[in-house]
Structure formats: structure tokens, C-alpha cells
A and B are shown apart, each in its own frame.
Chain A
Amino acid sequence: MYPFFYRPSHLTLNGPWGLSSTEQYYKQTERLWDRWRVSTVNSDYSVCPSYPSAVIVPREVDDDKLIRSARFRQGGRFPVLSYCHHRNGMVIMRSSQPLTGANKKRCKEDELLLQAVIDGSELGYIIDLRSAQQAQQARMTGGGFESKSFYSHWKRIHRHHERGKIVQESLIKLVEACSDPSHSVDRWLSKLENSKWLSHVHSALSTAGLVVECVERDGHSVLVHGSEGTDNTLLVSSLAQLILDPASRTVTGFLCLLEREWIQAGHPFQQRCAHSAYSHARLKQECPIFLLLLDCVWQVWRQFPLALEFSEALLLRLAQEVYASNYGTFLCNSEQERCAAGVKENTHCLFQSLLRPDIEEQYLNPLYEPTDLAIWPSVHPQSLQLWTGLFLRWTEYAQNMEEAREEVWSIVKEHHEQAGPDRTNNTLSTHCDTLTPFENLMDELTIL
């Protein structure tokens, strides 16, 4: 494949590949040290082929228990830590569905593992990304859900999310609708509605908001899973982190988040992003979940234009790279496959190259002003918009937006010149004060 031959003169293969690892994340997160540990039970990828070699689990659960729990979860994806909230130590876990099957099997070790997660606190939430009915049906094919009687301290909430083929078809329909400017307004709106793409954006953001509400406002830990735990699960857990965690809103932080939650966590990029919207080959595995994530991030940026360090340009670049790239970052379906193919040794890392100062500059948000607060997006249909920058990228419409973007830069640069960067930051920060915690309360999502 091309990334194996791509050898630009300014890059060398000897540099570090990737931005962080499980171990590094653990080291940086002091809150974890007490009750959590890094387990290398999967170092040969035998316990879970799609997991990375190292995962973070509760300290009191030993590797044997993990192996047993893995046998009880689809694809071996036992519950692992995805994020630890810096303010209250609550965590977001993710996994795949438990294999309870038709006769309600149980697994003591899996129950213990989850019990250890909440450790004495009264309640945790399981956000199941399927409707209750779908979860019931999954039992017929060997899957299932955590029953109340065996996981007594966990409350299960079902949120229906479309997956696979349906999301792929949405994308195809949307792109088709966008490519014909001769439609009447009615026809356009009906096609937009019919594509259901914005509905997927809506559900992803509102479930992420729900997770954040559990963690930040109510102070409970959360386990997120759907069926396989490689698609919507990652979508929701990474969006929740973006909303919660100021560190994931910087360029580096965001790329690290993508690396941890998508690349290392085993989103099957090669299967999902092989053909984009124009292929009519009915590929069973194709699904633009990652594009959906980028769209959701764009929506968050629209609503909090000062809160993200990166700009729309970075999202657009990623949307392009995930389908066609010179770099090895989005190759293969899991860390195991990347190791076997020698991706790290023989290709360049996209994220590393995006972070080179001269490159990074074009992806910065000139108005960035960090805020410590959670940035709860509004999920009203009125507040969500079509991502014109991506879907109408090649129209005259987008050119005018480009002009506006340049003007934003020039205004900020002019200010820099006149006042110096420190003062610009001051000016920007006075604008963030309006973001009070009170305003951030999200009324629409009520869980109790």
C-alpha cells in the first residue's frame, strides 16, 4: 500500500510513531494511581485481538479475572478504562456486550470487575447503545445485556443508535442530496431529512451529553457499550471526553484522544473507511462512524467557537486522511494487525506530522481560549446544522466561508501586532467568562 512507499524528504522513519500509549496516559493521570493499574494481560493479543497490548483496569482485579471476563464479552472486549474525570475521579469505561445468551448466563468475574469500578459508591450507569428491544433480541444470537439482578449497583439506560449499513446509507443519501443544487427547497429538505444523517449526529451528541451528565453533574461512573464496542461505543466515549475534558480540546489532546479511543482501541478503520460515499458496492463492513465523530466535533465547535484549540481545517484534513492517506495512522483494524504489518516501522505517523509547528499553525483556532468547564452542546434540532465545510466543500458557498475564516485570522493577527499575544489572550479570555456553569446545565437530558 502507498503509505509504505511514501517517503517525503522532511520526514524520517526513525522518529517516534504515535503520540502516547496506555502507559503514558496512566502516568499522566495521577488520580488513577491509587485504585487502577496497567494490565499487560493482552500483550500477545490473545485475550482480545482488537485491544492494545496494555489496558487500564481496577487494581483489585487480577489478570485471571480479566481473562474470564473477556471470555464473557463479545470479541473479548472486557470493560476497560477509557477516561478518568479530573474533577471527581469518576470514570468512563467501555466494553462490548456481555454474552449472556438466551439462558441468561452470568460471569462472576465480570460482575466483580464492574463492582471494583464503582468501589463502594452506590451507583454506576451502563449506557447501552441499543434500544431495550434490540438488547433483548441480541440474546438470541448469544449476546445480551447486564441484568439488574446480577449487577445490582449498575443502572442500565438504553439509547438507540443506528449502526453499520444504515449509517453508511445515510452518508450516501446525504452526499447525493448535496451534489444536486437544482432541487427545490422542499425536495432538498425532504432528502436531508430522509438521509437521517443529522439524526445520527443528534443521537450521538445527546448520548454523549447523557454520559457527561452522569459523570460531571451526578458524579457517577459510566460503562458504555453497544454490541461489538468498536463503533458507537468509541463515538460516544470520545465525544463525552471532548465535552468534559479541557485537555482533549487542544490539538495535541484531541489527536491523543483519537489515538487512544479510535486507533489503539481498535476501531476497524480498514473495514469501515474503505470506500466513502460514492461506492455502490454493498460492503457489509463499510460505515462512516469516524466521519460522524468529526461532524459531531464540528457541531460542538460551532456552539463553542472559542473552546477548541483546533479549527475546522483539522477536522476536514482528518476526514480526508481517513479515506485516503499517505500516512500509516489509519491503516489496519487493530494494533495487532499494525504490528504484524510493520506499520510503525515502515510508514509515517499522521499525527506526528500534523503536530510539526509549521503544519500545526494552519489548523489552529485563532480565537482559542481554554475553559475548564464542561462544554455542553445544545442538541435541539434547531441548534444542529449541516456541516457545509465538508459536505458542500467544493461549492461557491464554501469559498465565501474561506474568506470569512481568513478575515478572522487577519483581525486576530492585527491585534497581535498591535498589542502582543499576551494581551490578545486577555481580551479573548474576558469573552469566556460568559460561560458560567449555570448556563451549562443541560435541561433536556434527564436521567432520573
Chain B
Amino acid sequence: MEHIRMPKVENVRLLVRSSSRRTQVGTLYLTATHTIFVGKGSEDRNELWVLHSLVCNVVKHKASQSGYPLLIICKNFQVIQFIIPQESDCHDVYISLSRLSRPEKYEELYCFSFNPSVDKAEREHSWDFLDLKAEYSRMGLPNKLWHVTPINREYRVCDTYPADLFVPKSVTLPVIVGSSKFRSRGRFPTLSYYCKENHTTICRSSQPLSGFSARCLEDEQMLQAIMKSNPGSRFMYVVDTRPKLNAMANRAAGKGYENEDNYCNIKFQFIGIENIHVMRNSQQKLIEVSALRSPSMGEFLTGLENSDWLRHIKSIMEAGLFISKAVAEEGVSVLVHCSDGWDRTAQVCSVASVLLDPYYRTLKGLMVLIEKDWVSFGHMFSHRCGHLIGEAKEVSPVIDQFLECVWQLMEQFPCAFEYNEKFLISIHNHIYSCHYGNFICNSQKERKDLCIKEKTHSMWLHLWEKKLDFMNPLFKPDQSQNQGLLRPSTAPYCFKYWRRLYNRFDRELHPRQSELDCLMTVKEETQQLEEELALYEQKMAVLDKERAKTLYMQKGVLDSKQALWSLPLDTSLANTPQDYIGGAPNVFTLQQGERERAELCLFGDQTKSSDADNSDQESGVADFSSHSSGEESLPSEDSVKDPDSDETGPNRA
């Protein structure tokens, strides 16, 4: 609170970004955690809350006629512009916000003060929601070739790695220690993904400290052991995700890459993904393009091209595709590293996992994947997302790029993902918001030292509870092409600008009607109806047993009744018979007829209308309610109809 020089300013104007004409007058409040704008007059949509931890930058603009503009630029790409009448007020707000949005200590972050009304047990439950042990056992680990090594339990061998790590059973502790001493930051090769179908693995590490000629026997043994743990293959890939030039330059600093001559049976491969600084600049350019006010088509496309952003996304995707193909198609294990093994390595391993394993295309699967490959393996969220004031050079949109790769895949495979883009955007938002403790700190050790689990809440359960918002109605898990390996095209036209993320808050840029939302509603309702139907079927099954006998005797009459109600029906209803095939035909047609009528009883909204279609359906309803006497109303000339043609007739109509 001591940083707030001005808790409240009246008569502030809020500008809507895309149109200078639409503004709103109201009061601006600064609290310890939020900037709040409350519009005057209008009833709804007039409150705007911005978390301080989401604020990326505060900018004062030159005074205009109407006052002093203050720009708040957020990490979720929201840009808010206020116009404050008094210069001194504007300055005070500016100074306060500048300080509030740049916390110096973890304890200042919002997740430590966020206190929803849940008790301790519930908070603990939120942290237990994801269990990495369960994830490894889902993959089929531990097994006879791989086990958990206790070596890093106290984070002594590698303080940026998680406590539990999978290594081949055949490697001894000295080998691990030796290998870790030969790797940057001690990040020795360890398992990231295990494919139980063919025992292939994706392992990850940091670069070896090879310099120009150094070698390490233990490290060579380590790789040998990983290779041998995949009995089906006689070599393994070592993928260095850096451009070759960068890797060579590192040799001068005593780091570098594996020499193929020193390691048996490895195939070494460079994949030129640029470093965090290039990516940061690229995204900056992209954001500038996205914020252009009414650019021409040419300006936009040129800006998009010059940002190079999509080229970087493509290179990450291609790296992921290379690895996933090696695993699924060639059956060859892969070791991935970059420099430190927590940025590009995390991106590439997780993209490959999404391509390989349909589980990661489900809601929970993606959560687990981020928890495993990013959070537990020490992606430096605090540095990369700039949670605390510090080195601006450490900030880089590495996780943004992973989420975007998933989005690009969703665009190519609309039926392969259980989640929708809102899910990705929510994750993105919360990675930066510091609302939950998940993405605080740079490693598991730091989080443990800070007692994150005791002091904050976990985001995953929160997202899981809102999962209805995040479902993709088109998801078809059983479709063969959505199982197993996804093979995305990496043709340049497959990489698109992610409007929903970068122009998230520019409402007028997005489609005014959402196909997917609409489908979701339709789908949910169908499900609901199916449930109700099942209930009625149960009830009816009892009745049917009693009536089956009578029905056989009345066969001819019943068939004609079927014809009577089905003829005027809409064709869309007509293919119902196919779905119910499997019983004795005559009993069956009746059952189905009854089902339809049961629905009409349940949802009797059609009965209001008096046209021909509905009056027939109404009589159907009446028949059902007084079933045994129904046949009286039937015209006898229809009773000669062939039962088969009754079933197929409406289909062809």
C-alpha cells in the first residue's frame, strides 16, 4: 500500500483502442493488487479490473486537449488508455503503477495475497490435482529398463531439475554424476517421454561441456545406455535445437555439442531455432503489427513477414515433427538439447509429445504436459515472463511459442483436440498473471523453498472446474487419423496469425458469431436429451416385456401405424431407424416409434402448431398415452405396407 500515491482519481476517460470516438468517463482506483476503473452511468460492462502483475509497461503520452493520456500495456496484450484531467494526478498514478507493476520480491506477487474462500484441505487438493507420478506410470514407467533415480532428491546434482528423474536402469550413480558434471548446469540426459508401443524415448539435457576436444566417458556411457534401452534400434538421434553457428560459438566458451566420433551410434542433427533474444525481438515486432490502427492489407502482411514470428513458429514445429517421426515411424530414441535445456528443449519436447500422444490433446493431458516438460524441468518462468523486476534480457516468449504451436495444430486438425483456443488463451493469461502459484519461480527447488504449495493456490484445478468453457465440440477421439501421430503440414500457408491471442481485447476484430460455441450448446443439449431418453428407455423396457406378446399378434396394424406417423416427418428425423438396428424387427419398429412419441411427450412444444405434420405427431402422442386402444384410429387400407419399405422409405425421402 505504501506505493500508492493516489488511490482514486475522478473523471478519468477510458478510450476504446480501436475507435477514438468511443470513450467512457468514470473513476480510477488504485488498490494493492488491481487497477480498477468504474464507469459512470451505464449499468453493465462498466468495470475494468487489471491485475498489477499483468502490467508490462506504463507509458505517459504527451498532453492532449482533453487531458493527460496514460497507457497501460499488459502482458496479455491488452492495452488500456486512460485520459486523466490533471497532470499531477496522472503523474502520481504513473509513479504508483510503475512501482506496483514491478515487484521486487516474490511475496509481493498477487498469488500470495489471493485468498479464495476455500479451506486448507481444498487448497491441498488443488495441488494434488495433477500427479506427475501418475503421468509417468500412464506412459508405462517405471519398467524393466527405466527407473527413478534418487540422485537428485535433494537437488544436489542439478538444482534446476525436479527431484524425481527417470534414467535407464543400467546406468550407475557415478555415471550420472559424471555425466552431469560434463553438462551445462548439471542437466544430464534424462527421460522426458516414453513411448510404450515401441520402447522409444525422448530424452533431454543441456549442452555438453565439450569445448573443442574434451570428452567424458560417463556421458558417453549415459548415451549408450539410453540407446540400448530401446532394444529395437541400433542408433539414436542427438538433436541440437540451436543453429549450428551458435553451437560452434559455444565451443569457444568450453561448451558445445557432441562429437559423433566420440559417441557410439549417434546421429547428430542441428535444428536452427533461434535464441531467446531473437524471439523476444520478433514478438515485439509482431505486437507492434497487431496494434497498428487500421493498417492496410499490405502493411499488415509486410509487418507480419518482417516480424519473422511465423518463421520461428514453423522452425519449432518442424523440430517437433522431426522428433515425433523419429520416435513413431523410425522407432529411434532421441536426445534433445539446446544450451541450457530449458527453453528450446522444452518447446521441442512438448510439441513432439503433442504430435505423438493423443493424451496431450486432451484437457488434462495438456495440463500434465506443461507441468512436466515446463514447470518441473525448470523452465525459468519468473525470468522469461518477467514476474519480478530484473534483467529485461531474460524475458522471452518461449512458452507463448509452445502454446501457439498447439494452436496452429488445432487449426490444421480441428477434430483432434479436446480443448479449444480459449483454453490456451486462459493458460497464457494465467502464466503471466501470477494469480496462481504454478508459474512462480524458476525451478522446483525454488518453489519448494518458497513453500509455494502451502501459500498459494494451483491453477489447474481452477481450469478443470471451468472445463465446459474449454471443450472443442468437434473433438473426435475415436477417429483413426486423430489417434497416434499427427502429421501436420509445414507448408508456409499453414502458419497463420493468431488473432484471438494478439488482438484478444479488440472485440470488433473477431467473428460476431461463434460456430464452435453454438455447436457446443447443441452438443450439450443432445447429450442431455440422450440421458433423458435412456431414462425413459429403462422405464419402457419394463413395459415392453409385458407387451411383447401382444405386439407380435398385432403386427400388421402396427406396421401401418409406423407408416402413418413417419411419412410426413421431416427428413432429418428419418434416419433414426438405422441407429436402433439390432433387435427383432417388428418389436423394434414399434419401440422406435414409441421413442419418438416419448420425446414428443417430453418436449411437447410442437403440439402448438396445427399443420399437417404436427397433427399426425399429436395423434402419435395420443396413441402412446393410450396405447392399447391406439389401433382403432388407423385407416385399414394402409395395413398392406411391407415392413421393410417402411424402414427404408423415410431414409430415401
Q: What is the interface of chain A, defined by CB distance below 8 A to chain B? A: 178, 181-190, 192-193, 196, 198-199, 201-202, 302-307, 367, 375, 378, 380-386, 388, 392, 395-397, 400-401, 403-404, 407-408, 411-424, 426-428, 430-432, 434-435, 439-440, 442-444
Contact = CB atoms under 8 A, between A and B. Distances in A.
B519 A411 contact: yes
Contacts of A185: 305, 310-311, 314, 492, 495
A305 B296 contact: no
Contacts of A183: 491-492
Nearest to A182: B491
Chain A interface, DSSP helix/strand/loop, else mixed: helix
A384 B297 contact: yes
Contact of A397 (B494, B506, B529, B603): B494
A44 to B, nearest CB: 45
Which of B412, B474, B517: most chain A Cβ within 10 A?
B474
24 contacts: A181-B489, A181-B491, A184-B492, A185-B314, A187-B492, A303-B511, A381-B299, A382-B499, A382-B503, A383-B509, A400-B415, A403-B414, A403-B476, A404-B474, A411-B519, A416-B572, A416-B573, A420-B600, A420-B603, A420-B606, A428-B522, A434-B513, A442-B508, A443-B22
B573 A417 contact: yes
Contacts of A432: 513
Contacts of B298: 193, 196, 199
A378 B509 contact: yes
Interface in B372-418: 412-415
Nearest to A414: B526
Across chains A and B, which 6 residue pairs bring their CB atoms closest together, nearest first?
A188-B492, A181-B491, A381-B300, A193-B301, A404-B414, A189-B305
Contacts of B277: none
B522 A411 contact: yes
A277 to B, nearest CB: 16
A61 to B, nearest CB: 40
Nearest to B16: A443
B294 A427 contact: no
A412 B495 CA distance: 30
Contacts of B21: 443
B508 A421 contact: no
A144 B279 CA distance: 53
B311 A431 contact: no
B573 A421 contact: yes
Interface string B475-499: 0100101000000010111111101
Contacts, number: 203
A302 B515 CA distance: 9
Contacts of B479: 403
Nearest to A396: B489
A186 B414 contact: no
Which of B491, B512, B521, B572: most chain A Cβ within 10 A?
B512
B259 interface: no
A360 to B, nearest CB: 12
A307 B503 CA distance: 24
B19 A443 contact: yes
A198 B572 contact: no
B512 A380 contact: no
B605 interface: yes
Contact of A367 (B302, B503, B506, B515): B515
Contacts of B299: 381
A119 B113 CA distance: 68
B514 interface: yes
A418 B503 CA distance: 38
B530 A418 contact: yes
A189 B521 contact: no
Contacts of A381: 295-297, 299-301
A150 B606 CA distance: 61
A181 B512 contact: no
A380 B294 contact: yes
Contacts of B570: 416, 420-421
B575 interface: yes
A412 B493 contact: no
Given A181-B492, A186-B308, A397-B494, A412 B509 contact: no
B643 interface: no
Contacts of B473: 411
Given A187-B492, A403-B479, A412 B522 contact: yes
Contacts of B579: 417
Contacts of B414: 400-401, 403-404, 407
Contacts of B533: 418
Contacts of B492: 181, 183-185, 187-189
A385 B496 CA distance: 9
B292 to A, nearest CB: 9
Nearest to A201: B297
Given A408-B515, A424-B522, A186 B22 contact: no
Contacts of A422: 605-606
B354 interface: no
A395 B573 contact: no
Nearest to B517: A431
B98 interface: no
Contact of A431 (B497, B510, B513, B523): B513
Contact of A386 (B476, B493, B514): B493
B326 interface: no
Given A185-B495, A435-B512, 6 more contacts: A196-B298, A382-B499, A400-B413, A411-B474, A415-B529, A418-B525
A378 B605 contact: no
B619 interface: no
Nearest to B309: A185
A305 B304 CA distance: 26
A378 B508 contact: yes
A141 B308 CA distance: 46
A428 to B, nearest CB: 6
B489 A407 contact: no
B604 to A, nearest CB: 11
B599 interface: yes
Contacts of A201: 297
Contacts of A416: 570, 572-573
A193 B499 CA distance: 18
B511 to A, nearest CB: 4
Interface in B13-51: 18-19, 21-22
Contacts of B495: 185
B518 interface: yes
B290 interface: yes
A182 B512 CA distance: 35
B569 to A, nearest CB: 9
B96 interface: no
A120 B191 CA distance: 81
A359 B300 CA distance: 40
Contacts of A415: 522-523, 525-526, 529
Contacts of A421: 570, 572-573
A307 B295 contact: no
B126 interface: no
B493 A188 contact: yes
B576 interface: yes
Interface string B579-606: 1000000000000000000011001011
A193 B305 contact: yes
Contacts of A384: 297
Which of A196, A199, A407: most chain B Cβ within 10 A?
A407
A367 B518 contact: yes
A407 B476 contact: yes
A413 B476 contact: no
A181 B479 CA distance: 27
B508 A420 contact: no
A171 to B, nearest CB: 15
B311 A382 contact: no
B518 A306 contact: yes
A427 B522 contact: yes
A254 B493 CA distance: 30
Contact of A439 (B494, B512, B525): B512
A190 B305 contact: yes
Given A381-B296, A382-B300, A419-B525, A404 B415 contact: yes
